[in-house]
Amino acid sequence: MEIKLKVDASGLSCPLPILKASQAVKTVESGELVEVIATDPGSVKDFAAWATSTGNALVESGAADGKFRFLIRRK
């Protein structure tokens, strides 16, 4: 499935990657995918917590090229 929106939160500190992701997810339709790239190491656990709290699905959470990539499906 295609990624509807890509958000680059590289270099941003807590809590900005989460705030940017939250704002981005609200702009897409239910079931659509949003990709967030971050460099904040804390964001790995933070995105999992955020997904649990909001009910949005964290489809992918991984690291590549020194960055973290999160794929979120809006609930």
Partner 1 sequence: MTAEAAAKPKKLVIICYSGELEKTWATMILASTAGAMEMETTVFVTFWGLQTFVKGKKRITGENWMQKMMSFMQRPGASHRPLSKMNFMGMGPWMMFKLAKKYNVSKPKELLEMSQQMGVTFLPCQMTMDMFGIKREDLIDGMGEPVGAATALQLMTEADSTLFI
Beta bridge partner(s), residue 14: none
Q: Which is nearer to partner 1, 3 or 14 (CB)?
A: 14
Residue 47: CB atoms within 10 A of its CB come to 23
Rounded to a whole number of angstroms, the minimum distance from the CB of residue 7 to partner 1 is 13
Is 39 known to be catalytic?
no
Asked whether 9 and 38 are in contact (CB, 8 A), the reply is yes
| Residues at the site binding partner 1, with contacts judged by CB under 8 A | 11-16, 18-19, 21-23, 49-55, 57, 75
Residue of 6, 13, 14, 19 with catalytic role: 14
Rounded to a whole number of angstroms, the minimum distance from the CB of residue 23 to partner 1 is 8
Q: Which is nearer to partner 1, 3 or 19 (CB)?
A: 19
Determine whether 44 is exposed, middle or buried from the number of CB atoms within 10 Å of its CB (0-12, 13-18, 19+).
middle
